[in-house]
């Protein structure tokens, strides 16, 4: 089966996992395997531009459990489930190791996977995610999720009369509008499910809540990026989820987190927001970090 991504050769495969089959998009290549993990309400096609920047890699991006073509996979949800699914993908491919790339929530999954399985994932590239800050005791997780990713959460309860009105909603998104084109359209279209006049997001709300709770409050998830066996690079966007000046990270917060710069150097990608850090030209900088993490090309 061939997936429709403008300008790229793309294949689709399924991987047996607990409860069913994980849908995976592959951009085939003759080079080392790279596994890319998307954000909390995203899907595999978020990495199309990165794939174009990495023609020397064999790139696999799953639709994570509870999203897009993997929406039917049941719980239990949570980041540990995504780690198990990622290991199952590597086993299915018959590969011993892969570079892990994670964006947003996917970066937290990547760090957790590397902490638990450093022999399988010796290098990670964390993109605007993976470095967390514990929520205050007694915080309501739903309220905090709404504060952090409110627009994305709101979309999960919305319905659309037809595909055109759905695409128009995204064309007006302040972080996506300047980058709108066939690939962004294909990415958002992959999340669309249901029948007119009640088309909706494929994301399972329980999966989003469980994953969000882990990102915001699970001690193992929050500690993962600080573990000595987790090695790679953290790239963070200059602007936020709605292209607002306040981003998820800033130099002060990153510095205060106490990352080891030899083990996990961190740098800002200028001129980007939370989403556009995966689009050209920033995708080239992400790709450079991935190449540096490939066997024989990075440090150590």
pLDDT tens-digit profile of 214-232? 998 899 999 999 999 999 9
149, pLDDT greater than 90: no
CA atoms within 13 A on the CB side of 187: 26
Beta bridge partners of 15: 22
> How does 29-47 read in b/e, with b if 16+ C-beta sit within 10 Å?
beebbbbbbbbbbbbbbbb
Question: Is 85 in contact with 116 (CB distance < 8 Å)?
Answer: no
Give me the percent of the chain exceeding a pLDDT of 90. Answer: 85
> What SS3 state is found at 290?
helix
Confidence of residue 1 (pLDDT cuts 50, 70, 90): very low
Q: What is the DSSP letter of 179?
A: G
| The predicted structure's pLDDT at residue 224 | 98
What is the distance, to the nearest Å, from the Cα of residue 139 to the centroid of all Cα atoms in its chain?
Answer: 25
| The predicted structure's pLDDT at residue 138 | 76
Total-model pTM: 0.95
Q: What is the mean pLDDT of residues 98-111?
A: 98
78-96 pLDDT, tens digit each: 999 999 999 999 999 999 9
The three-point CA angle 111-43-228 to 5° equals 5
Provide the mean pLDDT of the chain: 93
116-139 pLDDT, tens digit each: 999 999 999 999 999 998 777 777
297, pLDDT greater than 90: no
239-287 pLDDT, tens digit each: 999 999 999 999 999 999 999 999 999 999 999 999 999 999 999 999 9
- Cα distances (Å, whole numbers) of residue 133 to 91, 108, 241: 32, 12, 17
Question: Is 286 in contact with 48 (CB distance < 8 Å)?
Answer: no
Question: Is 231 in contact with 263 (CB distance < 8 Å)?
Answer: yes
Confidence of residue 147 (pLDDT cuts 50, 70, 90): confident
19, pLDDT greater than 50: yes
The more confidently predicted of residues 251 and 300 is 251
What's the rounded Cα separation, in Å, for the pair 38 and 46?
7
Strands 20-27 and 58-62: antiparallel
Give me the percent of the chain exceeding a pLDDT of 70. Answer: 97
- DSSP assignment of 171-221 equals HT-TTTGGG-SHHHHHHHHTTEES-TTSBEE---HHHHHHHHHHHHH-HHH
Confidence of residue 299 (pLDDT cuts 50, 70, 90): very low
44, pLDDT greater than 80: yes
Confidence of residue 154 (pLDDT cuts 50, 70, 90): confident
| The predicted structure's pLDDT at residue 136 | 75
């Amino acid at each position: 089966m061939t997936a429709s991504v403008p300008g790229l050769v793309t294949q689709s495969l399924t991987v047996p996992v607990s409860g069913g089959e994980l849908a995976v998009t592959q951009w085939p290549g003759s080079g080392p395997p790279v596994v890319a993990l998307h954000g909390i309400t995203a899907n595999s096609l978020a990495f199309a531009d990165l794939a174009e920047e990495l023609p020397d890699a064999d790139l696999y991006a799953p639709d994570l459990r509870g999203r897009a073509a993997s929406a039917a996979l049941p719980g239990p949800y949570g980041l540990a489930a995504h780690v198990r699914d990622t290991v199952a993908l590597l086993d299915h491919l018959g590969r011993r190791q892969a570079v892990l790339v994670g964006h947003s929530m996917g970066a937290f999954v990547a760090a957790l996977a590397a902490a638990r399985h450093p022999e399988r994932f010796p290098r990670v590239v964390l993109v605007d995610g993976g470095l967390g800050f514990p929520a205050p005791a007694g915080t309501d997780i739903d309220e905090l999720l709404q504060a952090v990713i409110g627009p994305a959460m709101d979309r999960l309860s919305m319905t659309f009369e037809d595909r055109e009105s759905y695409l128009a909603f995204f064309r007006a998104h302040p972080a996506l509008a300047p980058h709108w084109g066939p690939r962004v359209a294909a990415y958002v279209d992959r999340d669309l499910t249901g029948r007119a006049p009640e088309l909706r997001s494929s994301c399972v709300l329980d999966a989003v809540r469980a994953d969000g709770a882990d990102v915001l409050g699970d001690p193992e998830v929050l500690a993962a990026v600080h573990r000595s066996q987790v090695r790679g690079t953290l790239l963070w966007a200059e602007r936020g989820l709605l292209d607002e000046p306040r981003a998820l990270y800033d130099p002060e917060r990153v510095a205060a987190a106490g990352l080891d710069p030899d083990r996990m150097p961190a740098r800002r990608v200028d001129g980007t927001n939370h989403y556009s850090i995966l689009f050209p030209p920033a995708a080239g900088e992400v790709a450079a970090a991935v190449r540096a993490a490939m066997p024989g090309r990075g440090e150590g």
